[in-house]
Amino acid sequence: MLAALALFPLVIPALAATTTGAFDTLSFNVAGLPAILNSNDVPGDKTTNTASIGKYLASYDFSLIHVQEDFNYHATLYANDNHPYRTATSGGVPFGSGLNTLSNFNWTDFTRVKWSTCSDASGSDCLTPKGFTFMRVHVSEGVWVDAYNLHSDAGTEPADLVARASNLQQVSAYISTYSTGNPVIVFGDTNSRYTRVGDVATVFNTANGMTDAWVQLAKGGVAPVSGSADLVCSNPSPTTDCEIVDKLWYRGSPAVALTATKFQYAGSMFLQADGNVLSDHDPILVDFSWSLGTKLRVSDYFGGDGGSYFTDLQTVDGISSPTVSSITLRGGERLDSVSITLSSAQTFTHGGTGGTATTLKLNSGEKVTSATLCQGFKTSERLFYLQLTTSSGRSVAAGTMTNDCVVKTADSGWSIVGFLGKSGDAVDRLGFVYSK
């Protein structure tokens, strides 16, 4: 029966029919510390205010929402919201980080990371395991955005400045390791100002090639100078010419162009019936447009969550007109490794050394145009089988077929030239880099 089912895998076009789109993001510190610890100088009852925030989030139906200080009123927030994808709370004070995400998009690889440095010089930043979260958000077929939510150390004492700089540098290093070649959005409560000496709000620009949406759209691309006077905002702010500590940075990739099209302080959209604010933070709302690459694109993934992330996209991006000269797959019971060699001599290999190797050398003008992948369970979900087929109808395969398979077929004029996914001693998850 399994063999019969495997003969009819689900066929999925490699490239999406939709090549452009739009979404919006909201970052909101919801002031969810227990009232006995911090009133946040906001009138009204915190449970009532949190319920109102949840109702607003549901009503406005923002695409991707990061909240901070979502501690002891978390259940109330979620009870009044209806987004289909939401992170589970890590707990109230002092157990949780207060970081959560509500989204219209699904995601994978969600991770919570605690700051390696904190300071209690100006408050109780070490009271809870503050830090950042990471998730790979599925916006559309072939459009994955790495989204980071953060809440940095507060205060202006020397120890606070050191801790906060360490916090942002920790996120920057994580991006360099885990988000290579991917579109990225970092947004949350940074407690940072460009004007404050000792803050490192430029780290994502200089180290990760990212753009601050506020600097781009409200300041004409020129950030305030460190040491200059603070650009103080009211709450809610009627203008974006002033600076708050809630920020958003972003970048695209060789496969997906990402552009911030609108930036606003959204506090006026979250008010109590009497006109008072619901939080001491003015939320930031950023609209984005995206479009698939005209020369390189990527497929969706198939497989499990194990292993470490890899991508060939950035290397392929540096090659003019990449073409495949040979493919080698290793496998036995399951898919152990994948390897592709380009005519420019670059070889990309991912996975382990087990199984039996099978190589297919391509002829002149022959392209890799489709792939059959099958997944199964061995301690966790992972790939068991891969077959790659060329424009000449020749193929190479490794591993064992299961009853859970898909076929990805490249659009006319496109072909497989690299991989992305997760691997360890075998291949756990796989997607493809396409070149036109």
| Gap between the Cα atoms of 394 and 407, Å rounded | 15
What SS3 state is found at 261? Answer: strand
For the chain, helix (H) and strand (E) counts, in that order, are: 7, 26
Strands 415-423, 296-298: pairing kind: unpaired
Compute CA distances 73 → 46, 56, 307, whole Å. Answer: 8, 16, 35
| Gap between the Cα atoms of 234 and 393, Å rounded | 65
Query: Half-sphere exposure of residue 289, counting CA atoms within 13 Å on the CB side?
Result: 5
Phi, psi dihedrals of residue 408, rounded to the nearest 5°: -110, 120
pTM over the 0.85 mark: yes
Q: What CATH architecture applies to the domain 296-435?
A: Aligned Prism (2.100)
Please state whether 193 falls in left (phi above 0), alpha (psi between -120 and 50) or beta: beta
Q: What's the gap between Cα 109 and its chain centre?
A: 9
Give the pair of three-digit tokens for residue 326: 């040979």
DSSP state of 222: -
pLDDT tens digits for the chain (436 residues)?
344 444 446 555 444 468 999 999 999 999 999 887 777 789 999 999 999 999 999 999 999 999 999 999 999 999 999 999 999 999 999 999 999 999 999 999 999 999 999 999 988 899 999 999 999 999 999 999 999 999 999 999 999 999 999 999 999 999 999 999 999 999 999 999 999 999 999 999 999 999 999 999 999 999 999 999 999 999 999 999 999 999 999 999 999 999 999 999 999 999 999 999 999 999 999 999 999 999 999 999 999 999 999 999 999 999 999 999 999 999 999 999 999 999 999 999 999 999 999 999 999 999 999 999 999 988 888 999 999 999 999 999 999 999 999 999 999 999 999 999 999 999 999 999 999 9
- Nearest CA to 215 among 259, 176, 247? 247
pLDDT of residue 5: 41
pLDDT of residue 152: 97
Q: 3-state SS of the chain: helix, strand, coil percent to 5?
A: 15, 40, 45
DSSP state of 217: H
**34 preceded by a cis bond (ω within 30 of 0):** no
Name residue, tokens 């890590």.
90
Cβ neighbors of 206 (< 8 A, separation 6 or more) are none
What SS3 state is found at 155? Answer: coil
- The ranges of the chain annotated as CATH 3.60.10.10 are 20-292
Please state whether 336 falls in left (phi above 0), alpha (psi between -120 and 50) or beta: alpha
pLDDT of residue 10: 58
Contact indicator for 101, 62 with CB cutoff of 8 Å: no
- The ranges of the chain annotated as CATH 2.100.10.30 are 296-435
SS (H, E, C) 164-213: HHHHHHHHHHHHHHHCCCCCEEEEEECCCCCCCCCCCCCHHHHHHCCEEH
| Gap between the Cα atoms of 424 and 273, Å rounded | 55
Task: Note the CATH number of domain 20-292.
Answer: 3.60.10.10
